[in-house]
Structure 1
Amino acid sequence: MVLLQWVGMGDLVWHVPYFRRVAAASHGGQVALIASPTVFAPQLVGHEPWVREIIDFDRHPRRHEGRRGRHRGVLGLFRMGLELREKQFDRIVLFTNYTNRSLVALTARIAERLGYGTTWLQRRLLSHGPWIERYTGPAVGTYEDATRFAMAHGWCDAPIVPSLVVRPEALARVKARVQGLPQPMHALCIGSSEPYKQWGTDNFAALATELARAGHGVLLVAGPAEHEMAQAILQRVEPTLRARVLDATDGSVADTVAAMSLVRTCLGNDTGGVQIAAAVGTPTWVMLGPRPLLAHDPETLHNLTAASLADIKPGDVARIALTA
């Protein structure tokens, strides 16, 4: 089995190509995937042939859920290990530099435990190397560490650009829903996991207005938690243009993957949606401001940087989209 340390959808997207390679080197060409429920693994990859089963590691629920994860804390880690012990796995590949995940593997009595080994304690708890040095460059390190780890173990010999497989039933569903929108369409990823990543309602409303005024269709893409924001954006769009803008915050994650495959561009906050868009091959621009770069797919995913997020102007982003 493989374990994903991180809790965002984009984190899963970055790891998918390496999970596929581990599966190819595993019994039956499949692995069990251990991941947080917050990454929506069943909808993102549950239909792919390399996935044998998905096991929830319920450690960090989303804030709006208002509950404690069943695997939170020391007792939660022990509980996770006991649950895995019943499954009698013989190998676990820990895509993590966290020592406590190795403790879970020990509790589960898994003989072969592979992981990054970026600390001396984690190395003591893993069965063997090779180890990696933690990435310290200018880009976001999550993908870089996963790449180094996969290369060190021979699952690949170079970085692999993330990709996702669109579910046919989701594609049919989304095509039917957007058939009334003008073409081409653009997706605006309006959600954000943290306030400092949020470009803002006014900016997205101005961008949607510019695109709609040019005769293009606009999808406002996010989860249900951003429904009110999507409605606020719609209210700021000129009434005569609102029919060209669709609130798509009520669809499933599988629907988001499908929608991203239908649009000309994706523009948005640093969130799972932009990672999904790039992974289905859609030209994508992410508003980063002064933060570390996303360097895993330089041909498809482009960073919009500035001294502050507020310095990225809707008119400039609209020109990018309209000339893409």
Structure 2
Amino acid sequence: MTQADTRPRTAVQLQLNGMGDLVWHAQYFRCVAEQSQGGQVSVIAAPTTMARELIGHEPWVREVIDFDRRPRKSERRRGRHSGLDGLWRFGAELAPKRFDRMVLFSDHPGRAIMVCWRAGIRTILGFGETWLQRLLLTKSPWISRYRGPAVAGYKDATAFSIAQGFCSAPIVPRISVRPDALARMRERLAGLPRPLHALAIGASEPYKQWGEDNFVDLANRLAARGHGVLLVGGPAEAALAEAIQARVEPALRHRVTTMTDSSVAESVAALSLVQACIGNDTGAVQFAAAVGTHAFVVLGPRPPLEHDPEHVHMLQAAQLADISAADVEARVLASLH
């Protein structure tokens, strides 16, 4: 007879809404799973993180649970879990799962605490930065939020995971590639020249967008060297990808292709097959770095990314417009050598 697994049945919740945010947290979720019942956790995240596509196949993920509180503006709908009534509803949905504890990767845990109480979860671990959080959360080691010059999400997740004993040191973000998606992408990209570069043309906000002209210039420069170019985005970037490809020099156009119709899992697989990914500060460049591909992020004057110095290369300037395609090309070519 096997000994009963007495580790707590655990859910982890991510407050942040982006796909890149999920990538930064995934390895810390895995560490929580190692100390949880069955070596697994249930992951609670916003649908915008695409958690099923990104980590749903991982053996340490029991299930992905959508927390539908804040839909994208383009969806023009109220989230199922918006408002106090929605939070109460979400707690009722979680109650039958009988979680022993909730691990909150959140600096504003108030809503989640309400959900936990409705769900019957009494061990609630969180940052505990304020006196009110310490009053409402289960007593445990607290942290102070990162307030340095870099992007804070990964820094806070790291400090919290170390303080709670889930790990002993920072972990570089990594995700695995779905084998079926990898097989499809190998076939789809087989005809493109090497080295092959992905241009991540999407942007969640206008101020992050490097712009069509720059991507056209860079695509032309790389293709003129005999390199392959893959324009990566989602359905929202289909028109932009077509416009960029149409402006590539006709003699070079066979070296450039678009990919805006693939799943997130397929995009991750494709980014594992390229030599470099260059683009806006968006989920795609985080995917690339997390599968070991060199990612060149056109950041401009924004806070630096410090989670993976080996694979994340920042292109910064006083203004985003000050970063030229020639500058980017030089950085990318240097990395190949």
Structure-1-length-normalised TM-score: 0.98
On the 8 A contact 1:171/1:258 being kept in 2, the answer is yes
2:5 is the alignment partner of 1:7: no
Deviation at 1:24, TM superposition (A): 0.3
Aligned twin of 2:6: none
- Matched residue count: 324
- 2:238 pairs with 1:227: yes
Matches within 5 A, 1:91-106: 91-98=101-108, 99-106=110-117
Q: Does 1:309 align with 2:320?
A: yes
**Map of 1:289 onto structure 2:** 300
234-243 vs 161-170, greater mean Cα deviation: 234-243
1:23 to 30, 33, 48: 33
Cα deviation digits, residues 74-97 of structure 1 (max 9, x gap): 221111111111211111100001
Moved over 4 A (4+): none
Alignment of 1:141-290 (within 5 A): 141-290=152-301
Q: Residue 4 of structure 2 corresponds to which residue in structure 1?
A: none
- Structure 1 alignment gaps of length 5 or more: none
SS of residue paired to 1:86: helix
Match of 2:49 in 1: 39
Partners of 1:240 and 1:118 in 2: CA distance? 59
Specify the code of the residue in structure 1 equivalent to 2:182. L
CA distance in 2, matches of 1:272, 1:123: 33
Letter in 2 for 1:5: Q
Q: Give the CA RMSD over aligned residues.
A: 0.9
The 5-angstrom pairing of residues 45-124 of structure 1 reads: 45-98=55-108, 99-124=110-135
| Alpha-carbon separation, structure 1, partners of 2:25 and 2:249 | 41
Q: Contact (CA 8 Å) 1:103, 1:125: kept in 2 or not?
A: no
Distance apart, 1:129 and its partner CA: 1.7
Partner of 1:289, secondary structure, is coil
- TM-score, normalized by length of structure 2? 0.94
Would the aligned equivalents of 1:187 and 1:263 in 2 still touch at CA under 8 Å? Answer: yes
Please say which of residues 65-74 and 301-310 is displaced more in the overlay: 65-74
- Whichever residue aligns with residue 211 of structure 1, its letter is L
Task: Tell me, in whole angstroms, the C-alpha distance in 1 between the residues paired with 2:317 and 2:226.
Answer: 29
Structure 2 gaps, min length 5? 1-10
CA distance in 2, matches of 1:103, 1:121: 14
The answer as to whether partners of 1:13 and 1:163 remain within 8 angstroms in 2 is: yes
CA contact (8 A) 1:161 1:297 kept: yes
Confirm or deny: 8 A CA contact 1:93 1:114 kept in the other structure.
yes
What is the identity percentage for the equivalent residue pairs of Structure 1 and Structure 2?
Answer: 61
Q: Secondary structure at the match of 2:239?
A: helix
Matched letter for residue 237 of structure 2? E
